[in-house]
Amino acid sequence: MAAFLEAVPARIRTLGAYQPGKSIRQAEQESGVSCIKLASNENPYGPSPLAVAAMQRELAGVNFYPDQDSLDLRAALATYAGVQPEQVLPTAGSSDLILLLLRLLLGPGSNAVGGDLSFFLYRIMTKSVGGTLKQVPMVNHAYDLDAIAAAIDHNTRVVLLANPNNPTGTLFTADEFERFLDKVPARVVVALDEAYSDYAEEFAVRRNVVWSRAFDYVRQGRNVLVLRTFSKAHGLAAVRCGWGAGPAELIGMLAKLRTLFSVSSVAQAAALAALGDLEHIHKSAIANAEGEAALSHALAEAGYPGVPTWGNFIFVETGEPALEVAAKLEKQGVIVRPMKAWGAPTAIRVSIGTSAQNELFLTAFRKVMPAH
């Protein structure tokens, strides 16, 4: 090891890198066949045409630095959430905001609490800032909120909850969360990661469930940081724009930790336009719900029922080594996400695509998996 690397903390030297879903280009090079990607929960219908036009208009001015405070976007998001602009912070993706929160509140000797089968980046980020993540076992692939509340101790600074949860797709209702929140000490911040909110909202309407009252807690001044993203239903994953809403004092401190000009002018323009295109978001959510119904039915008929989802992906227990299943599907031209790194060595996560993509996946799945 180079001498200068001896100064790097052990927690960083031993840190595992986050492995994103394999790109189409890489998969095609490895498999030698044309591939579709159903691994990263992206919107298969693309971004709003209004967002594309906004990005194109912005390109001529990329020689100028963007607005550091994202004032126009911040104002629009505050109106959307029904909160004050000083309670809102846009960042380069919602994952960036999670890292800012952990940098702010965690360090050696402190901990965050979450589920053991949740967003993998939570583990990496917590370790990177010197904290410990207490991972509470899931029950039926869902958060055990009572057990998470019981796991909070005097060293806990943050609770990390994804709703719907990634990768299992499960959800807790607004009432369940409120009962949990009442058990959380005011000194602990609950990061409520609602990346898949638009999909969850459509399912909630169809299933007659109140799934979230997240922004109510912000208006009430509760110890909650709500996280949203433009990477999912809005179809803007590549431009990196997310945002959070929470107590103004917390938001102000998080803003101090941002990388300078981290949200590009192109991203700000795209997000602002996408936020206003309700028709595009609604169409994407409806198509996703319809795709989920068809895909879940077909998987169940094949003997591999997925976990009922509230997002744009399905968690499937295959009973076979997930890495091998994913490799076989890739040879058939379909990229999915094996869940071994999450602690589910025989499960895969498949994103819900267009009807044509879903059929390609099902055809490939039936070829590589034994009939049950």
Look over the chain and give the mean of its residue pLDDT values, rounded to a whole number: 95
The proportion of the chain whose per-residue pLDDT surpasses 90, expressed as a percent, equals 89
Confidence of residue 10 (pLDDT cuts 50, 70, 90): confident
Q: Name the E strands within the chain.
A: 36-37, 88-91, 111-115, 132-136, 156-162, 189-193, 224-229, 242-245, 313-317, 334-335, 337-338, 347-351
Task: Give the tens place of pLDDT for each residue, 240-269.
Answer: 999 999 999 999 999 999 999 999 999 999
* Residue 1 confidence (pLDDT) above 70: no
Express each pLDDT in 104-145 by its tens digit: 999 999 999 999 999 989 999 999 999 999 999 999 999 999
DSSP-based three-state secondary structure for 356: helix
* Mean pLDDT, residues 161-175 taken together: 98
Closest CA to 188 of 106, 128, 266: 106
8 A C-beta contact, residue 302 and residue 191: no
Q: How confident is the model at residue 14 (pLDDT cuts 50, 70, 90)?
A: confident
Question: Which pLDDT value is given to residue 228?
Answer: 98
Residue 228 vs residues 77, 133, 169, 206, 219: alpha-carbon distances, Å:
10, 22, 16, 22, 16
Q: Rounded to an integer, what distance in angstroms lies between the CA atom of residue 240 and that of residue 76?
A: 18
Q: Domain 9-38+279-368: what homologous superfamily?
A: Aspartate Aminotransferase, domain 1 (3.90.1150.10)
Question: Has domain 49-276 been given CATH number 3.40.640.10?
Answer: yes
Both tokens assigned to 3 = 């001498």
Contact between residue 211 and residue 285 where contact means Cβ atoms under 8 Å apart: no
Is residue 309 within 8 A of residue 315, CB to CB? The reply is yes
pLDDT of the residue at 33 = 86
Residue type, 337: R
Q: How confident is the model at residue 7 (pLDDT cuts 50, 70, 90)?
A: confident
Residues in the chain: 372
Q: What are phi and psi of 37, to 5 degrees?
A: -110, 115
C-alpha distances (whole Å) from 71 to each of 66, 78, 95 are 10, 10, 21
Q: Are 176 and 44 in contact (CB under 8 A)?
A: no
Average pLDDT of span 8-16: 76
Q: How many CA within 13 A on the CB side of residue 340?
A: 12
Q: For residue 154, which phi and psi values (nearest 5 degrees)?
A: -70, -10
Query: According to the model, what pLDDT value does residue 2 have?
Result: 78
Domain ranges of the chain: 9-38+279-368, 49-276
* pLDDT range class, residue 27, cuts 50, 70, 90: confident
Question: Residue 170's Cα: distance from chain center in Å?
Answer: 13
**Res. 334 pLDDT band, cuts 50 70 90:** very high
**In the 3-class helix/strand/coil scheme, how is 120-172 assigned residue by residue?**
CHHHHHHHHCCCEEEEECCECCECCHHHHHHHCCCCEEEEEEECCCCCCCCCC
pLDDT at 4 over 80: no
